[in-house]
Structure 1
């Protein structure tokens, strides 16, 4: 059957199904309850099915009506999303950018501010911090920076850089009389941990770091006790800034804090993350000049971050 029910009747039925009463639906639609009832009857006649029934003074959906409303709601939501995407595509001064929350806060956003102020001050940039991957082909956003198993190579992707973690703390945490002479000395202080599971493979842990850099001489490896575990990397870094303990921080996220002395790296001994950060983009993003410029800039900035990490670590990263 090619003929569809009247669109106006479908729209009113959708609103009725999302409302708690006929009066609420009428208020949302700015029409009378009688007009709603008339449109619902037209829809029932077109479908040759009973969608509603009277329950006292209330108008409720039948079982068939409930099932039909689920489909209607999905269809109208897709239409609203398509309309929003069309509006975004018409605006040539927009750029939408999705990234993992900690990466967005501690690395990407400050850099993007500088790029925007210098090159595209009139641009409207939408920042979306999310662990969830966008829809396939990035239909709703221009660029996404991701990590791990979600970062499989594709024609519309580029590896930006592979980060490393290194021990950091506030200089106020380290008592002068209890100086740090070897990695084992860190065990005297609280340890702050980061755990990304189950979304992603977590970065190297304190156990990994001590196993790599603390000679055991045949003794059993230490079992570092971490009493504060954060699901977001920037939260562990912020706790370290407040003097709460040592964090294994990602190099790309601590450049400013190390440069201005708010964080110190007592041992420039690092472990790389198991995956690189990867930039993805939707195919139509390059239709706009500012998106092409952003892609070139961010690709160069990723290569530069690799070099900055090496300098910060004195080229001792493994």
Structure 2
């Protein structure tokens, strides 16, 4: 059984649907002569004419209409199968937007566990915080603290409450009440120290203050012995466990919380749901 050339069939199918070599050429992004040449190739292969040609106009003849019924169905089915395969492959690629310091200091060190639990899901990580436009960024899900209002159409899955506390290198652990203490602040959350002090019922004597742009930098400065930083428990869990930092006053809830945001129902996508389940397990295991 000899099959006609597939490319010639494709050119024929578009020309038959439009009944115009010019329109077919525009749709296929080729020249008019290229379409005419492929159709001629197909007609030579079949040994029959498929169009009645009248000047610049073309009309399907009986053989052309018979073939068109088959090619139309064939290419429609190919398109549907291709879309299903493409969408199935995309379901296993998950793009996550996460606040930078949480990503660097908590999430990334644990991604080996996620890869072991879900080896078929490829996670693309984008470091970003605050409000997010899912359509513009093409992000699937986002881990965010509820310090901004998101659209009502966004699904928000509660992950955990935020807890913050002072952290420092061992030699500076008890220096919070010392007037010479250097307090390390972060410009992205300038109220972190006042909020913690109010919750803890403490009075902070802050004569010496240094502000860093990101939490990551202030935590690094604290690790280097440059002062006392305020940090989320998620950001410093590993450092405290390893003894690189101490948290002498523990961590207190500050009234905010972390949520996993999604523009579509999390339960409606296997990769989203599995990541959410893994994230919740990790949070519970580390509280």
The reply to whether TM is greater than 0.5 is yes
- Give the equivalent residue in structure 2 for 1:20: none
2:243 to 242, 261, 272: 261
- Structure 2 matches for 1:45-194, cutoff 5 A? 90-116=89-115, 118-131=116-129, 133-136=131-134, 140-147=138-145, 148-151=147-150, 156-173=155-172, 180=174, 183-185=176-178, 187-194=179-186
CA offset digits 1:62-119 (Å, max 9, x no partner): xxxxxxxxxxxxxxxxxxxxxxxx9687434311111111121122222233211x22
CA offset digits 1:1-57 (Å, max 9, x no partner): xxxx9997xx9xxxxxxxxxxxxxxxxxxxxxxxxxxxxxxxxxxxxxxxxxxxxxx
Q: Contact conserved, 2:160 with 2:257, CA < 8 A, in 1?
A: yes
1:204 to 192, 197, 202: 192
- Counting matched residue pairs gives 208
Give the secondary structure class of the aligned counterpart of 1:227: strand
Which structure's residues are more often strand, by fraction?
2
Provide structure 1 residue ranges, at least 5 long, that are not aligned to the other structure.
12-85, 175-179, 216-220, 309-318
Q: Contact conserved, 2:177 with 2:205, CA < 8 A, in 1?
A: no
Query: What is the TM-score normalised by the length of structure 2?
Result: 0.60
Provide structure 2 residue ranges, at least 5 long, that are not aligned to the other structure.
1-22, 30-84
Q: CA deviation at 1:165?
A: 1.3
CA spacing shift, 1:266–1:228, aligned 2, 3 Å: same
- Give the equivalent residue in structure 1 for 2:231: 249
Partner Cα distance (1:284, 1:136) in 2 = 13
- Structure 2 matches for 1:235-314, cutoff 5 A? 235-268=217-250, 270-283=251-264, 286=267, 288-304=269-285, 308=287
Partner Cα distance (2:25, 2:205) in 1 = 66
CA spacing shift, 1:262–1:88, aligned 2, 3 Å: farther
For the pair 1:232 / 2:222, whether they are aligned, the reply is no
CA spacing shift, 1:188–1:164, aligned 2, 3 Å: same
CA spacing shift, 1:242–1:87, aligned 2, 3 Å: farther
Query: What is the TM-score normalised by the length of structure 1?
Result: 0.55
Q: CA deviation at 1:172?
A: 4.1
